Amino acid sequence: MRDAVREGFLERLRSESNIVSVVSDYVPLKRKGRNYWGCCPFHQEKTPSFSVSEDKGFFFCFGCQSGGDVFQFLMKVENITFPEAVKLLAEKLHIPMPEQERSPQELEREKARQAQFQVNMLARDFFHSCLTKTNYGKEAREYLKRRGITDETIEKFQLGFAPPQWDKLVSALTRRGIAEASLLEAGLAQERSRGGLYDRFRNRLMFPIWDYQGRVIGFGGRVLDDSHPKYLNSPETTLFNKRHVLYAYHLAAPTIKQGKQAVVVEGYMDAIAAHQAGFSQVVASLGTAFTPQQAKQLARVTTEMLFAYDSDNAGQEAILRALHTVKDCGAVVKVVALPDGKDPDEFLRRHGDDEFKQLLQDALPLLEFHLRYALRKQDTGTLAGKVAVVSEMASLLATADSAVEADAYIRKMAEMLEIDETAIRAEVKKSSGNTSGRVGRAIVVNKQSRNAEQEALRLLLRFILEEESLISYVEAQLPEEDLEDPVWRDLFSALYMQQRQGEGSLQRWLYSLQEKQQSLISGIALQPLPEGDRISFVDDCIRTMHIAALRRRYEQHRLRADELERLGDSRFLQELAESQRIKHEIDQLHANAFTR
């Protein structure tokens, strides 16, 4: 879609849509004051904290902090991409999509993609038929029966079987008019050295792999004997990239969104057994390392991730790698403690769904799992073992979200390892990267002012969102260089730029923001306004920002003066004078605030 046409079409959708009407299709809303309220569709709650502003076109949940415009709402609630949200909203409004101009190369790529989807669908049907309707699949059917897999589950997951012959699939699909090139591009066939093709998957139980829309994009195959490789996946294609895919995600997503919990397992059979037992929030990482892309996919729909990998050493190491991947994704991360040597599939078959449910409920917090693993791995009867445990835990404790939790684990480690608590705290402090002296004092000053800055910026934006004419007033008194935080600096920079471009600037600015920025702004927009003179509040906020910026400059010059004096450089007097001048300016701003 050309940029001008695209922007014009999006603007039409925004102007003709009513966010309250759209949200009401999913959430019962009641008007309260200027806004509408209901229970959030993105997390479980009994008291409504989900607010929708009809005039501003934003939603925000004060519970889970989700927010944005009508497109962001549809993307979140339907788990779809932005283009898909645009199409869905257009359908709701009965507005035809504009014709998209695409190059011959784009048209060719799309044609190839659709051909791969078609080939994969035919291959899925072929494998499924071989499993369920032919003698080829007899051994595989018996295998699944021994594993407790029902006929209903076989149908649900469209399980199949690849015959042992070299070219059964190739022959079957070419007879249906599928070109050899398409089979190669889909990763279903390989070239013979002497010409022709042969099947990539032979004598294997077959697992179709789907994208988030439930379209087959690849396959996994498992041998029924002890031959190797035990598992074989499709190679990477234009459709299939295993780093971006979670097995059974399209089946699990509705439950994950509703319960705000995802359970991640390693293999196909683990996921299938869990779903059959009623745990439909389970996905699998395709037996490979859990990737940042997979973490991001889950983080969009859940606030809690439980990892239930095999309890052997390889599985535990895989969990550690996964935890490192997801630690910054914003979700609560826990580990399911399976008994030694067990995987979820085996545990469910031996102990049943009630005990598995209990394991999920008793999942270990991140720090607890790390501590248990470190204690099990090291010989804590030796000094070297104790040092290794403390060293492994120190960095985790230094970056823990909760200081109270970190403190509790420090005391617990001291008791278990019979080490002085002070020594452990010293190691944790070392890992945090904190230093003493001048730098330390500067850090304290920054922390003291940061909360005030954040509150001032939020209040400024709240007034601007209410009265657009304030943008020019704020820009004249609050230059971008006074904003230390790059997130806020970028927001105000874009706001000032849009203001200079003409009418409707605020709306264009709002809709140009990224998802996280929209969530931030929508939360601010739905906060109540303080009572009193707006200009006085705005002036107070700007003064707070000036003071914070001056404090940073003061510390820079003071520290520079200290350093030059230590080196015997007479320029320290200039730096000292400048720091004193800035301090006087700060004092004046404080005095002015009290005399108003």
The DSSP result for 274-302, as a single string, is HHHTT-TTEEE-TTS---HHHHHHHHTT-
Task: Check residue 154 and give its pLDDT.
Answer: 97
If you search the block for the tokens 């899925």, which residue do you land on?
124
Confidence of residue 173 (pLDDT cuts 50, 70, 90): very high
- Shared domain for 47 and 175, answered yes or no, is no
- What residue type is 376 in one-letter code? R
- Clarify whether residues 454 and 519 are in a common domain: yes
Contacts with 160 (C-beta within 8 Å, 6 or more apart), sequence order: 124, 126, 127, 128, 129, 130, 131, 137, 205, 206, 208
pLDDT value of position 1: 42
Confidence band for 288, pLDDT divided at 50, 70 and 90: low
Give the residue from 313, 331, 362 where a domain finishes: 362
Q: What does pLDDT average to over the chain?
A: 83
Identify the pLDDT of residue 436.
36
- Highest mean pLDDT (candidates 57-66, 310-319, 354-363): 354-363
**Whole-number Cα distances in Å, 234 to 86, 113, 181, 295, 396:** 32, 16, 16, 22, 37
Residues 131 and 223 in one domain: yes
Q: Is the pLDDT of residue 364 over 70?
A: yes
pLDDT exceeds cutoff 60 at 588: yes
pLDDT tens for each residue of 528-537: 777 777 778 8
Rounded Cα distance between 264 and 249, Å, is 10
Identify the pLDDT of residue 433. 56
* Domain end position, chosen among 340, 362, 384: 362
Residue 582 sits in a domain whose CATH number is 1.10.860.10
Look at 489 and 422; give whichever has higher pLDDT: 422
Q: Do 343 and 474 fall into the same domain? A: no
Instruction: Residue 30: give its domain's CATH number.
Output: 3.90.580.10
Count of structural domains within the chain: 5
| pLDDT of the residue at 170 | 96
Percent residues over pLDDT 70 in the chain: 89
Q: Is the pLDDT of residue 450 over 60?
A: no
Residue 101 lies in a domain: no
Contacts of residue 426, defined as CB under 8 A and 6 or more positions apart, other chains included, come to none
Residue 205: give its domain's CATH number. Answer: 3.90.980.10
pLDDT (average), residues 443-470: 67
The answer to whether residue 484 scores a pLDDT higher than 80 is: no
Residues 141 and 227 in one domain: yes
Which residues touch 436 (CB under 8 Å, ≥6 apart)?
none
Domain hosting residue 35, numbered range: 3-93
- Give the lowest-confidence range in 122-131, 346-355, 361-370, 454-463: 454-463
103 domain residue, yes or no = no
State the pLDDT at residue 438.
31
**pLDDT computed for residue 60 by the predictor:** 85
pLDDT, tens digit, for every residue of 227-261? 888 999 999 998 998 888 999 999 999 898 888 89
Residue 499, pLDDT above cutoff 70: no
pLDDT of residue 533: 73
Tens of pLDDT along 255-264?
988 888 999 9
> Is residue 273's pLDDT more than 80?
yes
- Confirm whether 70 is domain-assigned: yes
Same domain, 26 and 79: yes
Token readout for 438 is: 């001048």
Q: Is the pLDDT of residue 169 over 80?
A: yes
Same domain, 321 and 417: no
Based on the fold, state whether residues 444 and 588 are members of the same structural domain. yes
Q: Identify the weakest region by mean pLDDT among 114-128, 157-171, 406-420, 443-457.
A: 443-457
Mean pLDDT calculated for residue range 273-280: 97
| Span 80-89, average pLDDT | 86
Look at 501 and 74; give whichever has higher pLDDT. Answer: 74
Domain assignment of residue 281, yes or no? yes
pLDDT reported for residue 287: 66
How sure is the predictor about 55, in pLDDT bands with cuts at 50, 70 and 90?
Answer: confident
Predicted confidence (pLDDT) at residue 138 exceeds the cutoff of 90: yes
CA distances from 263 to 111, 293, 454 (A): 36, 16, 36
Residue 353's pLDDT is what?
A: 93
Residue 577: pLDDT over 80: yes
pLDDT of residue 129: 97
Residue-wise burial string across 395-429, b where 16 or more C-beta atoms lie within 10 A, e elsewhere: ebbbebeeeeebeebbeebbeebebeeeebbebbe
Are 346 and 428 in the same domain?
no
Q: Could you tell me which of 29, 5, 7 has the C-alpha nearest to residue 18?
A: 29
Concatenating the DSSP letter of every residue in 119-131 gives HHHHHHHHHHHHH
Distance CA 562, CA 570 (A): 11
102 within domain boundaries:
no
Provide the 3-class DSSP secondary structure of residue 460.
helix
Together in a domain, 307 and 422:
no
Report residue 441's pLDDT band, with 50, 70 and 90 as the boundaries: very low
| N-term to C-term CA, the chain | 55
User: Are residues 228 and 284 located together in one domain of the fold?
Assistant: no
pTM for the predicted model, two decimal places: 0.63
Q: Where are the alpha helices (DSSP H) in 134-262?
A: 138-146, 151-156, 168-175, 180-185, 249-259
CA 470 to chain centre: 35
Q: Where are the alpha helices (DSSP H) in 311-402?
A: 313-326, 344-351, 353-361, 366-377, 383-398
566 shares its domain with 586: yes
Q: Is the pLDDT of residue 324 over 80?
A: no
| pLDDT band at 222; cut points 50, 70, 90 | very high
